[in-house]
Structure 1
Amino acid sequence: MAAVVATSDLRRPAVFAVETVAVALCYYAAGRLGLMRELVVEGAVFTPVWPPSGVAVACLLIFGLRSAAGIALGALLVILSLTAFRPVVLCTVAGNTAAPVCAYLMLRKVGFRTDLARLRDGLALVFLGALTAMLLSSTTGVGLLVAIGKLATDSFWHVWLAWWVGDAMGVLLVTPVLLLLPALRRPPPLARWKEAAGLTLITLGVVPLATHSPVSLLFLVYPLLVWAALRFRLAGSMLCALFTSVLATIAATDEVGPFAGLTRVEVMIKLQAFNGTMALTALLLSAVITEQRNTRRSVERACQELVEVLEHLTAGEPEHGRPVKETDRLHPRDNPRSP
């Protein structure tokens, strides 16, 4: 028994170390992907969508607070890939770690469920996990740039807004997709695969046209989001939204299509407004549809149970509604009229 306990005690630090390294590598990989496309606002470089914030919130919701160490390590690796180590770097690491931890604590406080099967879960992720919690990282990061003299004071709000929206978009677009992975089940039937293939082919044709056409055709994306949400719920709508956001970000950073001829600030505003409305539409519409389907199934199960109870209660009644006499309910041995 002592040997078993000792082995268990040794495994816990090993498992924690493996999880920490895995989370850090995922965070770092997401950061490198995010840095592939950048915008410049008031002389500061930022990413329109910061995927590591979504990775961090998803890891905390799946694995718990023990993921915070991996998030901090991943944030440090991303920063060190851009600049040399200095003590002020630790402040940025602290802000990038504290923001998703704050999101996790607030979501737990309101009873957030990772399946996003309720409208309240979608609203909590939007307003608490994305918009509120990410204020911490943007304020810390931009405030640090102003404090060390790398950013002018009059440019604070423009850069702060870009940083905040980028972190929030990472949570809205990446976190729901990652939360779906542990819930993957057996594949759907062949008929659903055919519909999914059709939706995928149409999306691959319409989205590049909408995001790169000189004519403003971004509105063509929303029917696809509605179709994906109605038929494939959160998995379909969020994957469609994420793919569209990637192509829209590429078009914005290249200043082509609907983003051509705009100033840097106008490109940022148009891109973030599009990404935000698209993510909200996909997330909240999917949550509403899933909640309504679950409610309908609950009502159907309750009706079925009620029918079974009524059938059980009426199973002993005579035919044609003939009333049962008191003497008929007695056992033949106890009936005085029986021979």
Structure 2
Amino acid sequence: MLLVERFRGVILSLAVAAAYVVAGKLGLSLAVVHPSATAVWAPTGIALAAFLRLGYGVWPAIFIAAFLVNVTTEGSIATSIGIALGNTLEGAVGCYLVTRFARGSPTFSRPLDVFAFIGLAALAATTVSASVGVTTLALAGYASWADYGAIWATWWLGDAAGALIFAPPILLWSAGFSLRGTRARWVEVLILVLVTGGVAGIVFSSWLPAPVQRLEFLVIPPIVWIAFRFGPREAATTALAMSTIALWATVRGVGPFAAEAPRVVLLSLQAYMSVITLMALALAAAAADRRRAEQGRLEEAQDRVRMHEALEESEELHRAIAELTSDFAVIVRLEPEGGAVLESATDGFRRLTGYMAEELDGPFDWRRLLDLDTLTDGAKMGERLLKGERVSLELRIVGKDGARRWLRCHAEPFHHSTNDRVDRILVSAEDVTDRRMADESLRRHQEVIRELSTPVLRIRDRLLILPVIGQIDAQRAQRLTAELLSSIRINRARVVVIDMTGVATMTSQVAQQILKTIEACRLLGATIIVTGLSHG
């Protein structure tokens, strides 16, 4: 058995080394700034994934492969050893940082996983290889110290992009997968492949006339579709496929990046591919996180339903239901003279508020529990309850220790047996603080995506287009205004097209902001054309 494991380890190490050499030679064939520094360096992602999946024992394969790539490209044996050492340390450091500070081998199932991987492995660890490699070349006389900064930046960006673009799909596919799925799911996959391939073919080809070739943002809708309908693995794979197509087209001299100067074309392309990959991973992680939360709430609700069925014959039916479907429940008795007394409370009340029921004996002032921001909502809730209405709303409370939490409250009034006066109120509450925080986090991620989805595009000389996609509020409208005015000044634009096709609705406040934007653009000497508006 031990012999089999060793043989398997040798085979995997040879496969890693072979993949590293092939990817490295392809990457260095695109070098512009220096023969040993390229903006396309997939071996970083291969090495990082190998360290995370196979452990530190894979280092000899990485070192030998890196040495072979460099010794057959440029420099001496000594410089090749130095560069290979830097490349190996880069993968090992990235593995250590991710294992130590980011929950081990990343699954990219949470937004935090994505940003931790990017910060630790793609941005921090890659400085090791760039610093060791460029310093080695400069000391040996194969690179000028005057060009140190340019070579280092190219080297680092290539390694960072390689870690971001290539490592996630390798890690996710090597974690195991299943090809099972419904017929509808496979039909969706087929449609998705066709749409993605078609979009990539349109964007990164010479089919379109030159004035309308800058359509890089068209790759965003398929990636968003994949991220929300499938998961991180499929999103990372799609981003890798898009990057490969874009690189292939650019090398052939076609596509939106081909017209740039040779020194910056690959850097611009790699930066674009990195942003697309980051967006895909972040969106997929946020969607996966949301699905897990919804599944957890569904399972919890099913458990509570089963418990409710067991308790529905109980003498304390209303109390049992309240405890069953909430984190705590209280019964408040309303006195004829207008006061309120906390008649009973479940254990969850103490856990969430910090108050013992005994501390609130006597007249009960519910306002001491409410945060000032929700005090008005609490007062309106009380007025509706006194009218005999059932009320459900979210309130923020302040606990005994000063901690603030959001509660989803359901309140039901009960009338006195001899008159129509409300004399008791049953309140059940569910702690939704984590959900509110998750919703806010998702809102921020969506805001980032909207910003990425709204570039000011320079179509041709002095002609700009601003495609606006998604929901737009006053704050976002102000940011778009500032960006558009800045672009008009920089490009000396004479014609600006604002395409509102992707905006379903807007408020009157936003509409006024758009009008102010148009007037400001006209003051700068630009003619404004607004498209995509409709009455509704």
Same-fold status (TM-score > 0.5):
yes
**Correspondence for 2:109 among 107, 112, 117:** 117
Q: Which amino acid aligns with 2:58?
A: S
Matches for 1:34-113 after TM superposition, within 5 Å: 34-35=27-28, 38-41=30-33, 43-44=34-35, 46-82=37-73, 86-110=77-101, 111-113=103-105
In the comparison of the two structures, how many residue pairs are matched?
311
Secondary structure of the residue that 1:88 maps to in structure 2? helix
Residues 258 and 19 (structure 1), Cα distance of their counterparts in 2 relative to 1, 3 Å cut: closer
Residues 44 and 158 (structure 1), Cα distance of their counterparts in 2 relative to 1, 3 Å cut: farther
2:278 matched residue in structure 1: 280
Residues 39 and 69 (structure 1), Cα distance of their counterparts in 2 relative to 1, 3 Å cut: closer
1:211 matched residue in structure 2: 204
Q: Deviations over 1:48-70 (max 9, x none)?
A: 32111111111111122122222
Residues 48 and 187 (structure 1), Cα distance of their counterparts in 2 relative to 1, 3 Å cut: farther
* Structure 1 residue 100, shift from structure 2 partner: 0.9
Contact 1:16 1:66 in 2 (8 A): no
* Structure 1 residue 317, shift from structure 2 partner: 3.8
* Structure 1 residue 45, shift from structure 2 partner: 5.5
Q: Deviations over 1:97-153 (max 9, x none)?
A: 000110110001121443221111111111111111011111111111211112212
Contact 1:112 1:121 in 2 (8 A): no
1:258 matched residue in structure 2: 256
The yes-or-no answer on 1:249 pairing with 2:247 is yes
Separation in structure 1 between the aligned mates of residue 256 and residue 236 of structure 2, nearest angstrom:
23
Separation in structure 2 between the aligned mates of residue 197 and residue 263 of structure 1, nearest angstrom:
37
**Correspondence for 1:220 among 218, 224, 230:** 218
1:172 matched residue in structure 2: 164
Q: Which has the higher contact order (CA 8 A, sep 6+)?
A: 1
Secondary structure of the residue that 1:48 maps to in structure 2? coil
Structure having the higher helix fraction is: 1
* Structure 1 residue 77, shift from structure 2 partner: 2.7
Secondary structure of the residue that 2:230 maps to in structure 1? helix
2:518 matched residue in structure 1: none
Separation in structure 2 between the aligned mates of residue 315 and residue 107 of structure 1, nearest angstrom:
50
Secondary structure of the residue that 2:78 maps to in structure 1? coil
Secondary structure of the residue that 2:108 maps to in structure 1? coil
Task: Please give the TM-score of this superposition, normalised by the length of structure 2.
Answer: 0.54
Q: Which amino acid aligns with 1:289?
A: A
The yes-or-no answer on 1:193 pairing with 2:191 is no
Identity of aligned residues (%): 30
Separation in structure 2 between the aligned mates of residue 45 and residue 247 of structure 1, nearest angstrom:
24
Q: Which amino acid aligns with 1:132?
A: A
* Structure 1 residue 209, shift from structure 2 partner: 1.8
Separation in structure 1 between the aligned mates of residue 37 and residue 176 of structure 2, nearest angstrom:
33
Task: Please give the TM-score of this superposition, normalised by the length of structure 1.
Answer: 0.83
Q: Which amino acid aligns with 1:297?
A: Q
Q: Which amino acid aligns with 2:73?
A: L
**Correspondence for 2:22 among 29, 32, 38:** 29
Contact 2:40 2:266 in 1 (8 A): no
Q: Which amino acid aligns with 2:54?
A: F
* Structure 1 residue 80, shift from structure 2 partner: 3.7
Separation in structure 1 between the aligned mates of residue 6 and residue 181 of structure 2, nearest angstrom:
39
1:130 matched residue in structure 2: 122
**Farther-moved stretch of structure 1 (129-138 vs 267-276):** 267-276
Residues 269 and 74 (structure 1), Cα distance of their counterparts in 2 relative to 1, 3 Å cut: closer
Contact 1:48 1:249 in 2 (8 A): no
Q: Which amino acid aligns with 1:23?
A: V
Separation in structure 2 between the aligned mates of residue 16 and residue 266 of structure 1, nearest angstrom:
40
For structure 1, list consecutive stretches of 5 or more residues without a partner in the other structure: 1-6, 322-339
Q: Which has the larger radius of gyration?
A: 2
